């Protein structure tokens, strides 16, 4: 439900749990000033907001009708900045992701693709992340899983073509 990572900030969320009987859930979140960390117990901000303005997240998630065990989702986020004292005035950061999971008995497999364009860096840097996983539920209290993640960084001021990082 949160694509941008603006958790910990006060915002306004609207959730429609079933769009026209389709089983698809829509979740929209608006944060007036992201990065403020103001959703702490005392309501006071923590850290710096670095020219942060508002952020918007929207996700669509749900089960695929007629295909038992298949769930899909997509999300988009934009975080706006007002960097008045730099050459990066008015930048934003955009994130997007799509995923699918399929569960059959005790086995669940999943695949997710995410893209993050770091507009706040103003140098063309972006990341493409791929996540794959499989899990097996041995019992209600115990499961085993294997996950693989590949993150590719491209663009940037230093002129590299791409840089990959992979972990299991």
User: In terms of DSSP bridges, do strands 143-154 and 24-31 run parallel, antiparallel, or are they unpaired?
Assistant: unpaired
130 closest CA partner among 144, 146, 147, 143: 147
pTM more than 0.85: no
pLDDT in tens, 106-153: 999 999 999 988 665 556 778 899 999 999 999 999 999 999 999 998
Specify the higher pLDDT residue, 17 or 47. Answer: 17
Those residues with Cβ within 8 angstroms of residue 148's Cβ, 6 or more apart along the chain or in another chain: 131, 132, 133, 166, 167, 168
Pick 34 or 20 by higher pLDDT.
Answer: 20
Burial status of residue 98 (CB atoms within 10 A of its CB: 0-12, 13-18, 19 or more): middle
Look at residue 137 in the predicted model and tell me its pLDDT.
Answer: 97
Q: Extract the tokens encoding 1.
A: 């439900």
Instruction: Note the pLDDT tens digit of each residue in 55-104.
Output: 899 999 999 888 999 999 999 998 887 766 555 545 778 899 999 999 99
Query: Dmax over Cα atoms in the chain, in whole Å?
Result: 57
As a whole number of angstroms, the distance between CA 11 and CA 31 comes to 4
**CA 50 – CA 124 distance, rounded (Å):** 20
Rounded CA separation 74/76 (Å): 7
């Amino acid at each position: 439900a949160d694509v941008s990572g603006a958790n910990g900030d006060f915002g306004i969320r609207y959730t429609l749990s079933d769009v026209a009987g389709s089983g698809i859930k829509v979740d929209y979140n608006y944060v007036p000033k992201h990065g403020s960390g103001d959703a702490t117990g005392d309501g006071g901000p923590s850290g710096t907001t670095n020219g942060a303005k508002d952020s918007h997240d929207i996700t669509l998630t749900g089960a695929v009708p007629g295909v038992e065990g298949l769930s899909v989702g997509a999300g988009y986020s934009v975080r706006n900045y007002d960097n008045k004292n730099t050459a990066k005035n008015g930048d934003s950061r955009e994130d997007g992701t799509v995923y699918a999971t399929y569960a059959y008995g005790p086995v669940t497999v999943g695949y997710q693709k995410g893209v993050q364009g770091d507009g706040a860096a103003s140098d063309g840097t972006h990341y493409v992340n791929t996540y794959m996983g499989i899990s097996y539920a041995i019992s209600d209290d115990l499961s085993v899983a294997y996950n693989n993640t590949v993150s590719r960084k491209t663009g940037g001021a230093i002129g590299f073509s791409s840089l990959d990082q992979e972990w299991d």
